[in-house]
Homo-oligomer: A and B are copies of this chain.
Amino acid sequence: MAEKEKVTIYDISEKLGISAATVSRALNNNSKISLKTRELVLKTAAEMNYKQNRLAQALKSGKTNNVGVIVPYINRNFFSSVIRGIEEELSPHGYHVIICQSHEDVQNEIKQVNTLLNTQVDGIFMSVAKTTQDTAHIQKAVAENTPLVFFDRKKNVPGLSSVTIDDYRGGYLATEHLIKQGCKRIAHFSGDLDVEIYKNRHAGYLAAMKDYKVKAIEKFSIQVNSKLESGASAVKNLWSYDEKPDAIFSASDYAALGAIQELRKMKVKIPSEVCVVGFSNEPFTKYMELPITSVDQTPVEMGRNAAKVFLEQIEGSKTLTIEKKVVLAPELYIRDSSNRKL
């Protein structure tokens, strides 16, 4: 009904008796055009409620002002926070953010990259799926000259930038803190060591142990996944040994929580007998009755930084590929689960 007819530059040109080219030039505010015509056009355009057709513009220029973000799941606090950062940094520059989920599966990831490239996004942000090994689909972006920025979980692909946190440092900080609490037998719950971030957290743990001359007991390093049960069963496992840990540094907050719950059942006192530190600073960690110490990954900042890297890339000369590796400093939030000085 109301079906507003869309106003085009042709409507304006007709109304003013000038060519559409002139209208376009006036609107774009640059070329050589007389002040008089420009003002007339701008005024008329406003009166007629003209709105640029961004599709036509995109077709002509090849620039869509859309970027894509690929994450495993959008409703994980960490990822949605990164996306928030990206959106807030990019939105003032006129970009729209398209979100895609890989469901932690390479096949989906490949599909998503392809459709994003096909819709001609101006850039792609991604945190790769845990299982991603081959990077052919990612290199396609390079081949098509579409900037791609990794965040958190990256792959080493020449020409591509990344924004990550210093997981090694995060692991180091957490472990150092435990050592300073007087802990001597510190266990580590790591994620899949084939995934870079977990490998680095583990390395940070080992480095701190070494620096402070605390013996790292091999069987105290246990691989878990991000589930409560996984942390719980790791604890059962550890407590079956004669020599029991007096601290746990878990690369996952969920596993840390599972561990705490299990320890409670076993009447082990936290933090006096065992200190626990998690990783990610999930919202729940600070709400617990026994708030959990955790390493914060500053996800919103990560998103903002990824966006900035993208903008530099776009605004810089197109031919020159800059490969920028931004590494953010994680922050340790010390809470009751590991604070003996209460």
Could you tell me if A75 and B73 are in contact, using CB atoms closer than 8 angstroms? no
- Cβ of A77 under 8 Å from chain B: yes
Could you tell me if A119 and B54 are in contact, using CB atoms closer than 8 angstroms? yes
- Cβ of A59 under 8 Å from chain B: yes
Which residues of B are found within 8 Å of A4, using beta-carbon distances?
A: 143-144
- Cβ of A81 under 8 Å from chain B: yes
Residues of chain A from 286 to 303 with CB closer than 8 A to chain B in the complex? 287-290, 300
CB distance from A49 to the nearest CB of B (A): 11
CA distance A300 to B101 in the complex (A): 14
- Cβ of A222 under 8 Å from chain B: no
State how many residues of chain A have any CB contact under 8 Å with chain B.
Answer: 52
CA distance A84 to B83 in the complex (A): 13
Stretch binding the partner chain, chosen from A9-17, A91-99, A128-136, A174-182: A91-99
Residue of B nearest to A85 (CB): B75
Residues of chain A from 110 to 142 with CB closer than 8 A to chain B in the complex? 115, 118-120, 142
Q: Which single member of B68, B73, B257 contacts A287 (CB below 8 Å)?
A: B257
Q: Which single member of B56, B77, B100, B118 contacts A75 (CB below 8 Å)?
A: B77
Residue of B nearest to A114 (CB): B51
Residue of B nearest to A299 (CB): B75
Q: Which single member of B55, B261, B264, B283 contacts A55 (CB below 8 Å)?
A: B55
Could you tell me if B87 and A100 are in contact, using CB atoms closer than 8 angstroms? yes
- Cβ of A64 under 8 Å from chain B: yes
Could you tell me if A98 and B287 are in contact, using CB atoms closer than 8 angstroms? no
Could you tell me if A98 and B289 are in contact, using CB atoms closer than 8 angstroms? no
Residues of chain A from 47 to 105 with CB closer than 8 A to chain B in the complex? 51-56, 58-59, 64-66, 68, 73-77, 80-81, 83-84, 87-88, 91, 96-101
- Cβ of A3 under 8 Å from chain B: yes
CA distance A68 to B54 in the complex (A): 15
Residue of B nearest to A65 (CB): B119
- Cβ of A145 under 8 Å from chain B: yes
Given A2-B143, A55-B119, list of 4 further CB < 8 A pairs?
A2-B145, A55-B64, A74-B80, A284-B288
- 9 nearest A-B residue pairs (beta carbon): A284-B284, A80-B80, A75-B80, A75-B81, A2-B143, A55-B59, A75-B84, A284-B287, A96-B98
Q: Could you list 29 A-B pairs, sorted by A, with CB under 8 Å? A: A3-B145, A51-B118, A52-B118, A53-B59, A53-B120, A54-B120, A55-B55, A55-B119, A55-B120, A65-B119, A66-B98, A73-B84, A75-B81, A75-B300, A76-B80, A77-B283, A87-B99, A87-B100, A88-B101, A91-B100, A97-B99, A99-B99, A228-B287, A261-B289, A264-B289, A283-B284, A284-B288, A288-B289, A289-B289
